[in-house]
């Protein structure tokens, strides 16, 4: 029997394995019946904990007058109004690294999609001829010896760097705030150097006021000719007009974008008209494996909070004692 009988709200459905953890602990799970903010607020109003998969506003947090904790179904805390949670002394937990393998594998799936042109070859073989299907191969390139630049060497960036270095013998250069935490096989570099020397530039850093729109026209002016930009972090890292200009001019060979400043991506967005952009709907970290890990990790943290235990990954430790009192 649970120590505390409580209701756990989730912004979106949970993986069955995670939901089973909550229910076996004796907690009820509530998910909004529709996408409206009003419906979410109604569900949160009766909840003791909230698991966040979609971005929530300060108003949603304020509606949860019974909330004893918020858990991010992932690692990106920009989905939660931290200032409001801190003001209300609500502990916020998160699940770092649970989708790192899925995102890192997506990065290289994207690299091979643009380098080996498999989809184009398949289409030409079906609709044209054997010779037409073989034609793109003359422009394909191997990864060995090429330079991979990674900005943000957290769980995801580090795994991308490992695969590139150990799996494909690529030279890896990287940038992050703490150089002392840089893996030994990654050469530290500033952002400008990453852009000027890399064949593939991977954005894997968190969105902060410092990193917002740091990929701008001045930085893109240093990009290595023929380079590809891959964003698996947050859309707002990029000043979109500047990226569209660089892609249109050909100074940047192409981009693979899984995240956008506005999501879903508007139908009339300029990215959609660019032939050298590969677009995916923010699903780099979504696989059956990662969703189970994320859901179970988030639900385990919710259970800890509701039992009065400190979560393993607490984003705002400064409010913990205040909350306990």
pTM, full prediction: 0.92
The answer for residues whose C-beta is within 8 angstroms of residue 247's C-beta and 6 or more apart is: 254, 255, 274, 276, 277
CB of 230 closer than 8 Å to CB of 111: yes
Say what the pLDDT of residue 4 is. Answer: 47
Listed residue (45, 73, 117) closest to 286, CA to CA: 73
Rounded to the nearest 10 degrees, the angle between the axes of helix 100-116 and helix 118-127 is 50
Write phi, then psi, for 110 (nearest 5 degrees): -65, -40
Cβ-based neighbours of 118, under 8 Å, separated by 6 or more:
112
Asked if 319 contacts 42 with a C-beta cutoff of 8 angstroms, the reply is: no
Distance CA 282, CA 263 (A): 9
Give the phi and the psi of residue 242 in degrees, each rounded to 5.
Answer: -65, -40
pLDDT at residue 323 in the model: 80
List where CATH 3.40.50.720 sits in the chain: 7-96+288-324, 100-279
- H helix intervals, 147-223: 155-162, 168, 191-197, 217-220
| Helix, strand, coil percentages in the chain from 3-state DSSP, rounded to 5 | 45, 15, 40
Cβ neighbourhood burial of 105 (10 Å; 0-12, 13-18, 19+): middle
Q: What is the dihedral of CA 271, 272, 274, 280, to 10 degrees?
A: 80
Residue 195 three-state SS: helix
Output the CATH code of domain 100-279.
Answer: 3.40.50.720
Q: What is the pLDDT of residue 180?
A: 79
**Which CATH superfamily includes the segment(s) 7-96+288-324?**
NAD(P)-binding Rossmann-like Domain (3.40.50.720)
Q: Would you write out the chain's pLDDT as a tens digit for each of its 325 residues?
A: 444 479 999 999 999 999 999 999 999 999 999 889 999 999 999 999 999 999 999 999 999 999 999 999 999 999 999 999 999 999 999 999 999 999 999 999 999 999 998 888 999 999 999 999 999 888 889 999 999 999 999 999 999 999 999 999 999 999 998 877 899 999 999 999 999 999 999 999 999 999 999 999 999 999 999 999 999 999 999 999 999 999 999 999 999 999 999 999 999 999 999 999 999 999 999 999 999 999 999 999 999 999 999 999 999 999 998 887 7
Contact 214/203 with Cβ under 8 angstroms? no
Cα angle 14, 83, 91; round to 5: 50
């Amino acid at each position: 029997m649970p120590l505390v009988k409580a209701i756990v709200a989730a912004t979106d459905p949970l993986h069955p394995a995670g939901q089973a953890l909550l229910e076996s602990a004796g907690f009820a799970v509530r998910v909004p019946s529709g996408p409206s903010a009003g419906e979410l607020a109604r569900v949160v109003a009766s909840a003791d904990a909230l698991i966040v998969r979609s971005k929530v506003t300060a108003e949603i947090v304020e509606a949860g007058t019974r909330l004893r904790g918020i858990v991010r179904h992932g690692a990106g805390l920009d989905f939660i109004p931290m200032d409001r949670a801190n003001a209300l002394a609500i502990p916020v937990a998160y699940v770092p690294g649970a989708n790192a393998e899925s995102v890192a594998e997506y990065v290289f799936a994207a690299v091979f999609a643009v380098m080996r042109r498999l989809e184009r070859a398949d289409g030409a073989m079906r609709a044209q001829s054997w010779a037409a299907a073989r034609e793109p191969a003359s422009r394909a390139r191997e990864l060995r010896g090429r330079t991979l630049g990674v900005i943000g060497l957290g769980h995801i960036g580090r795994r991308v760097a490992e695969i590139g270095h150990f799996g494909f013998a690529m030279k890896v250069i990287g940038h992050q705030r703490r150089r002392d935490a840089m893996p030994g096989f990654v050469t530290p570099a500033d952002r400008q150097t990453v852009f000027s020397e890399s064949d593939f530039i991977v954005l894997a850093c968190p969105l902060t006021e410092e990193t917002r729109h740091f990929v701008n026209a001045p930085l893109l002016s240093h990009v290595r000719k023929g380079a590809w930009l891959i964003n698996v972090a947050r859309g707002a890292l990029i000043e979109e007009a500047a990226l569209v200009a660089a892609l249109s001019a050909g100074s940047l060979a192409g981009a693979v974008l899984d995240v956008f400043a506005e999501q879903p991506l508007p139908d009339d967005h300029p990215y959609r008209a660019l032939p050298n952009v590969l677009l995916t709907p923010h699903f780099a970290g979504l696989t059956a494996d990662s969703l189970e890990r994320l859901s179970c990790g988030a639900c385990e943290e919710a259970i800890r909070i509701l039992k009065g235990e400190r979560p393993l990954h607490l984003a705002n430790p400064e409010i913990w004692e205040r909350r306990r009192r």
